[in-house]
Amino acid sequence: MTIESPKSVPKTVRKTVLVLCTGNSCRSQMAGVLLSHELGGQVRALSAGVAPRSTVADNAIAALKDAGLPTDGLRPKDIDEVMDEHIDLVVTVCDNAKKACPVFPRPVRSIHLPFHDPYGESLESFIQVRNEIRARLVPAVAQALGLAWAERARQP
C-alpha cells in the first residue's frame, strides 16, 4: 500500500501596496485598513505620509470603527519608514503626495486616485470619504495588481 502525500497547494503571494498622502492621518490610514480588509490575504497594505502628522485623526478612527474595521496600532509614518520595503504598487491619494512621491530603490508601479481631505471636518465627512475609498480605490488596486475581488453587498 502506497500513501501519497497531499498535493501541495501553491501559496498566494501577497502583494505589498503603499498608500501615500501628505499627513498620513486620514485618507491613507483608512485606505490601508480597507485594502487589508477587502482584499484579504492578497494584499499587505502600508500607509505613509510625505509630511506625517503626529496622530491619526480621531474621526478617521471613528469612521473605521463605525464600519467594524480594526484600528489597533494605527499611527502616522514617514515615507522613510517604508523605503526599504518590497512594494508592488504605490497609490497616491492626494495631489501633494503625487508631486512629492520619492524615487524608490527599485522601479515601482503607481496609480493616483485623489480623495477629498476630511481633516478637521465632521465624522460624516470622514464616513463619506471612507465609502468613496472603498468604492474607487479597492477595485482599482485589485485591477492594477490582477487580484480577485468581489464587491460585497453591504457598505463598510
Q: Which residues are catalytic?
A: 21, 94, 101
Strand 43-49 and strand 109-112: the pairing is: unpaired
H-helix or E-strand containing 145?
Answer: helix 138-145
Angle at 82 between CA 99 and CA 33, to 5 degrees: 85
Contact 33, 70 (CB under 8 A): yes
Residue 81 identity: E
End-to-end CA distance of the chain: 53
Neighbours of 33 (CB within 10 A): 25
